[in-house]
Chains A and B, each alone.
Chain A
Amino acid sequence: MSAAKPPVPAPPFDVEACIDAAAPMLGLTISPAQRPGVALHLATTMRIASVFMDVELSDDAEPAPVYEA
């Protein structure tokens, strides 16, 4: 079912906080040398993701884990 009202905007994605919180939980060590590159690519991905995250889909919208053309 479609949402009856516009979705609440998501808060800005905090790249540095995500790296600090998620990397240790995944068992990843981000070295000081790696961090600028990781932060740049994560920020790019999240900026690009904002292009599709505002698409309003019904609750029964299906993902495409094995895509069938």
Chain B
Amino acid sequence: MDSVPLDPTILTASAIADGIRRGSFTARQVAQAHLLRISRLDPTLGAFTDITASRALAEADAVDARRAAGAPLGPLAGVPYAVKNLFDLQGLTTRAGSKINRDLPPAGADAFLVQRLRAADAVCLGALNMGEYAYDFTGENAHDGPSRNPHDLAHMSGGSSGGSGAAVAGGLAPLALGSDTNGSIRVPSSFCGIFGLKPTYGRLSRMGTFPFVASLDHLGPFARSVADLALAYDALQAPDPADHAQAARPVEPVSAVLDLGIDRLRLAVAGGYFRRGGMPEAYDTVDRAAAALGVTRVIDIPEAARGRAAAYAITTAEGAQLHLERLRTRADDFDPDVRDRLLAGALVPAAFVIKAQKVRRWYREKVLRLFDEVDVILAPATPCRAPKQGQKTIVLDGQEIMLRPNIGIFTQPISAIGLPVVACPLWSEGEKLPLGVQVIAPPWREDLALRVAAALERAGVARAPVASL
């Protein structure tokens, strides 16, 4: 490999694209540096399930050739990225974390969002580990092994986009895509100490991804800076008639507004439900973010417990319906933890699921009224720092409860009604592991959440360093 003046694996996506435009290094050098780091560290981290080295080098060479020819380069020129393995990558089988889907033929085309990144001149490094069929908050996988937390390998990466969290925090990629049905972008962001954006439900096309819960599935990016999240989000926005759930919204770029500041914004901390059921460090993290932003107001998100409960019931029943035939014929090929939850979901009476959908709308109307009074709300992303690998239970409020369903108690009420959220990582003095804050905005106002996240980053409160490995 040619020498590179600065290790590109510690750079943000924005810095990589700028460096390639200026000629500080080539896209091939950047791709090679990341592939080398993946080959060295991924056997330990377990972030990748497929490494598309040939594709990465071909895409990087195409970027370098265009620069040499004086042609314009895309906004993510030469930026390496990887995707949760429920995204279609042409020529690869989309396993969605499962053993069963490995029998499917390879994808004939890239997922819509992968096409968008390719059009922006980004470079695809491969597909990332995930919890089976995305029904997971831990980052563990019975078939591929766990993705490990780069900041402490004995701990969980979080899930279900566990490989996405591990890859970005571990410096294997500056950018990754994941999905979030109940918290699967925000939980790994919190546990691995990176920034994650779950956009408004219906904002980004889901075409070419393996679903979990059609009512609640979102896709979004992970990165190590807010500017990178915005850069990726701007590239990902585009209308796609193939996704029936995508809303008819114009493309609304956000990169240019990150520096507008927060002076005119009405900010508040979520109280009530969001101050119960977690460890003290979850509340301390939110309070430190609030102090940095000068936020003193506390508000209640009304009926959050019921909104969360509705999302829980919808998830288990819709997920089970999706997998019913596989549960009938190949139950032994599932991860046992996922299988038992799905089998139980198949048995939930319809009356409960339909009521849950009605309650979701009722809850949405109550929460949207709140945004007459505030612009952005802060809440914990997870009730605790990353638990240890293999941990099955957690003690919250003095009670030992099952870990898997409860990691998402603070994320689930927000995605239940599709609000946009940026997860921001904060670090306590002397702690190896971070904890995330959710920055929550009204529907279609990703710009507001990103502006507040950028303010936290500028204040030095939220940051996403590459792990020392």
Contact = CB atoms under 8 A, between A and B. Distances in A.
Interface of A: 18-19, 22-23, 26-31, 34, 37-42, 44-46, 48-49, 51-53, 55, 57, 61-69
Contacts of B219: none
A64 B309 contact: no
B364 interface: yes
B274 interface: no
A69 B444 contact: yes
Contact of A28 (B327, B341, B348, B405): B327
Interface in B326-358: 327-328, 331, 336-337, 339-341, 343-349, 352, 354-358
B359 interface: yes
Interface in B244-259: 244-245, 247
Contact of B344 (A29, A31, A38, A64): A38
Contact of A52 (B309, B337, B346): B309
A17 to B, nearest CB: 11
A22 B309 contact: no
Interface string B102-114: 0000000000000
A60 B340 CA distance: 35
Interface in B295-327: 305-306, 309-310, 312-313, 316, 324, 327
A12 to B, nearest CB: 14
Given A64-B361, A65-B357, A67-B245, 6 more contacts: A38-B343, A38-B347, A42-B348, A64-B358, A65-B215, A66-B215
Given A26-B346, A28-B328, A45-B313, A34 B360 contact: no
B246 to A, nearest CB: 10
B362 A57 contact: yes
Given A26-B346, A26-B347, A49-B313, A67 B331 contact: no
Contacts, number: 132
A58 B309 CA distance: 20
A69 B202 contact: yes
Given A22-B347, A64-B215, A69-B202, A34 B358 contact: no
A49 B356 contact: yes
A69 B200 contact: yes
B402 interface: yes
Interface string B228-251: 000000000000000011010000
A15 to B, nearest CB: 9
B331 A63 contact: no
12 contacts: A22-B346, A28-B327, A34-B331, A42-B347, A45-B348, A48-B309, A51-B305, A53-B355, A63-B358, A66-B215, A67-B201, A69-B364
A40 B341 CA distance: 9
Nearest to B345: A45
A55 B365 CA distance: 14
B107 to A, nearest CB: 25
Nearest to A39: B344
A23 to B, nearest CB: 6
Contacts of B359: 52, 55, 57
B417 interface: yes
B419 interface: yes
A55 B223 CA distance: 40
Contacts of B313: 45, 48-49, 52
A34 B361 contact: no
Contact of A45 (B202, B306, B316, B364): B316
Contacts of B316: 41, 45
Contacts of A26: 324, 328, 346-347
Contact of A57 (B245, B337, B358): B358
Contacts of B356: 49, 52
A56 B405 CA distance: 26
Contacts of A29: 328, 331
**Residue of A37, A49, A62, A65 contacting most chain B CB atoms (<10 Å):** A49
Given A45-B313, A48-B312, A48-B313, A18 B347 contact: yes
Contacts of B361: 61-64
A46 B309 CA distance: 10
A43 to B, nearest CB: 8
A62 B417 CA distance: 14
Interface centre among B305, B336, B357 (most CB of A within 10 A): B357
